[in-house]
Amino acid sequence: MLKVLKQRDFALAWTGGLVSMLGSWALFIALPLHVYQVSGSALATSGVVAALVAPGILLGSIAGVFVDRWNRKTTLVVGNLLLAGATLPLLALRDESWLWLVYPSVFLLQVVEQFTGPAENAFLPRLVHANDLVAANSLNALNNSLARLGGPALGGALYATFGLTGVVLANSVSFLVAAALLAAIGASGAVAASRELAAAATRRWRQVWHELRDGLALVRRSRPVSVVFGVTSITAFGEGVFAVMFAVWVLELLEGGVPELGLLQTSQAIGGLIGGTVGAFFGRRLVPERLFGVALLAFGIFDLALFNFPLLLDGVWIGVALMILVGIPGVSSQAARTTILQTHVEDAYRGRVFGSLSTSASLLMFVGTLAAGATGDLLGPIALLNFQGGAYVVAGIFVLLALAPSRAPFQDPAAAPTT
């Protein structure tokens, strides 16, 4: 991991990502709390969550088309500048009369994220050596855990001291810092021309559908990519179930409350920190396909142990230990999945593929949330959560059987530095 961080361009991108995610976690911990305090309405608070999810469903695939048209480095720099500006209207949120401003602001922030997320994943192979790609993706996944540990504490401290104004300003500054770091990257963000699109002299709006269709056709043609999409859809549905039923499981099976729920979520983040190191280590020893399958299988097994231990044993600390174990393969599976797509998808199509993956995952997670809400009272938390854990076990076995553990079929000549 230290070797990868010594590669200057990746270190700049990684640091920028960490800073911006810390700011985002701080904001999205404080904002729902502020909305509830101002409005006293759970419905108003849930609207914030809806504004967070909707852009991924509506725009993820289309955004990927434009990521494949535009310079990825420029997209990331401009995107972070736009995020810094889009955060500032929340400064006006002082009383209930301005509450309406939250929803378009959050929606706009997530719209921009639909472009910066795929651009980051598509740009990454330009920043590291090919053999370090899994380690680099592990470090990127590790950012989520670091931000998840530090961001909520930062948001809480800023909110208690300066109110929402302090949190909003800190988030805006974090995006400006990220933009400056990304601008300092030396690697080119220009998109490599594809065989199919090399003859196209112009890029017009009427071509968007055709380019999106070409990207989706690649998903069907490539066995590794189609397997990743299928597995992600299954597990995203399970994550939607988890989002609804985990709190119920804590309340009914552990007889806990908000402190226990927060402790367990923090424990998974700790596991994620360990998982970043583990993923980087095994990423040099296992091909991404094998690492992906093993990590999914381990995640499912640990999940099943976590959800069922209260039937035999008492104690929240057993759950804490199991949540740490769950977090370890969680990061490795994310890193391996991203690496498979990066190495099996031509540079010119990566934005569309990552955008489409975001859309399908968001949609299936939303469906899983609805399904859990409709059947939760009838089936109970253990049955539904066992479905989620079992889905990961099945997904891991399927990946190990369906994907031969081989390297990518091509090398992108512009994908990584040579020295």
Tens digit of each residue's pLDDT (9 = 90 or more) over 4-20:
888 889 899 999 999 99
Task: Note the pLDDT of residue 410.
Answer: 43
In whole angstroms, give the CA distance from residue 110 to residue 59.
10
Residue 209 has pLDDT above 70, yes or no: no
Report the length, in residues, of the chain: 419
Residue 417 parent element (H or E):
none
pLDDT, greater one: 67 or 19 = 19
In whole angstroms, give the CA distance from residue 283 to residue 65.
30
Task: Read off the pLDDT band of 404 (50, 70, 90).
Answer: low
Residues 313, 300: contact at Cβ < 8 Å? no
Q: Compute the average pLDDT of residues 348-362.
A: 79
376: exposed, middle or buried (Cβ count in 10 Å: 0-12, 13-18, 19+): middle
User: Domains in the chain and their CATH numbers?
Assistant: 2-185 (1.20.1250.20), 215-402 (1.20.1250.20)
Task: Read off the pLDDT band of 126 (50, 70, 90).
Answer: confident
Q: How close are the terminal C-alpha atoms of the chain, in Å?
A: 17
175: exposed, middle or buried (Cβ count in 10 Å: 0-12, 13-18, 19+): buried
Task: Note the pLDDT of residue 254.
Answer: 84
Residue 331 has pLDDT above 50, yes or no: yes
* CA-CA-CA-CA torsion sign (58, 60, 66, 70): positive
The candidate with the shortest Cα–Cα distance to 245, out of 336, 401, 155, 379, is 379
The most confident of 55-64, 256-265, 335-344, by mean pLDDT: 335-344
Task: Note the pLDDT of residue 411.
Answer: 47
What is the pTM for the complete model shown? 0.69
- Report the mean per-residue pLDDT for the chain: 79
